[in-house]
Amino acid sequence: MKVSIYRYNPETDREPYMKEYEVDTGGKDLMVLDVLNLVKEQDDSLVYRRSCREGVCGSDGMNINGKNGLACITPLSLAAPGVLDGRKALILRPLPGLPVVRDLVVDMTMFYNQYEKVQPYLQNNTPAPAIERLQSPADREKIDGLYECILCACCSTSCPSFWWNPDKFLGPAALLQSYRFLADSRDQATDERLARMDDPFSLFRCRGIMNCVSVCPKGLNPTRAIGHIREMLLERAV
């Protein structure tokens, strides 16, 4: 099969280019990461991130035939119609909207900065009991669909609002994590958390495009979380 990969080495290339490879997959429905590993055996200068190879570490987010996803859990049959049977090339590009370091590796600094801005840690100033803090199953259920985020950046880098204002708009990943703590019955910093987002950019640049929902490899829904934060801000205002 044909694989077309975005290549750029800052030491030798003046500009990026697409390089074509021919890979023998034996007709198998491999994962995109397996295909990348086969290409690297041919050409060890190809660069990409990978770690767990099972969709939980979030290293190998990339743009696969136009859609962001994790290479390790995207089989060729789902990459795009025609890729598996060789009618179409597998096209791999770095996540959009972030500076490219080399080939498929992007500089994630802006993404991590937004994550850190939401103070992504539990805040509770009452003295801790000798055992765990109690939480009812119903309260615990409120953070399902939020805590599972793996910080792969597929969502934020598919979001046009994040492309425009990656420094001022927190982006879907960071907002999902913000809500993860707002929704946690053990957290006491609700007001401070909301106050920090009460400006035209941090949260309100979300235009409900929902690219984040359609690409999230863990099936999470940042748009819904953003909606909940909006409601909380509204209630706080009246």
Partner 1 sequence: MSIRTVTFDAIVVGGGGAGMRASLQMAQSGFKTALISKVFPTRSHTVSAQGGITCAIASADPNDDWRWHMYDTVKGSDYIGDQDAIEYMCSVGPQTVFELEHMGLPFSRTEEGRIYQRPFGGQSKNYGEGGQAARTCAAADRTGHALLHTLYQQNLKNGTQFYSEWYAAELVTDARGHAAGVIAICIETGEAVFFKAKATVFATGGAGRIYSSTTNALINTGDGIGMALRAGVPVQDIEMWQFHPTGIAGAGTLVTEGCRGEGGYLINKDGERFMERYAPNAKDLAGRDVVARSMMMEILDGRGCGPNGDYVYLKLDHLGEEVLHTRLPGICELSKTFAHADPVKEPIPVVPTCHYMMGGIPTNIHGQALRLDGGHQGQAQHIPGLFAVGEVACVSVHGANRLGGNSLLDLVVFGRAAGLYIEEALRQGMDQAEPNSDDMDRATARLRRWDDSRSGESVASLRKELQTTMQNAFGVFRKGDLMIDGVKKVADLRGRIGEAHLGDKSKAFNTARIEALELDNLLEVAEATAIAAEGRTESRGAHSRYDYPDRDDENWLCHSIFDPKTKQLGKRDVNFKPKTVDTFKPKVRTY
Where do contacts with partner 1 occur on this chain (CB under 8 A)? 9-12, 40-41, 44-45, 47-59, 73, 75, 101-103, 105, 108, 112, 116, 119-122, 124, 128, 130-137, 140, 143, 147-148, 150-151, 181, 184, 186-187
Least separation in angstroms between residue 41's CB and partner 1 is 5
Least distance to partner 1 from the beta carbon of 128, Å? 4
In the complex with partner 1, which residue's Cβ is closer, 8 or 169? 8
Q: CB of 23: closest distance to partner 1 in angstroms? A: 14
CB neighbourhood size of 46 (10 A): 19
Nearer to partner 1, 93 or 205 (CB): 93
The least distance separating partner 1 from the CB of residue 142, rounded to whole angstroms, comes to 10
Q: Choose between 138 and 237: whose C-beta lies nearer to partner 1.
A: 138
Q: Distances in Å between the alpha carbon of 171 and those of 94, 163, 189, 209, 231?
A: 18, 9, 21, 12, 18
Task: Assess contact for 30 and 71: CB atoms under 8 A.
Answer: no
Residue with Cβ nearer partner 1 (101 or 209) = 101
| Strand pairing class (100-102; 2-7) | unpaired
The encoded tokens of residue 224 equal: 């819904």
Q: What gap in Å lies between CA 38 and CA 31, rounded to an integer? A: 11
Q: Which of 148, 157, 70, 161 is nearest to 112 (CA)?
A: 157
DSSP 102: E
Q: Are strands 90-93 and 105-106 parallel, antiparallel or unpaired?
A: unpaired
Q: Cα separation of 90 and 194, whole Å?
A: 43
Assess contact for 174 and 226: CB atoms under 8 A: no
Question: Whose Cβ is closer to partner 1: residue 136's or residue 235's?
Answer: 136
CB of 209 to partner 1, least distance (A): 26
At closest approach, how far in Å is the CB of 207 from partner 1? 28
Indicate the DSSP class of residue 169. Answer: S
CB-wise, 132 or 235, nearer to partner 1? Answer: 132
Q: Which is nearer to partner 1, 124 or 214 (CB)?
A: 124
CB of 204 to partner 1, least distance (A): 25
Whether residue 44 contacts residue 29, with contact meaning beta carbons closer than 8 Å, is answered with no
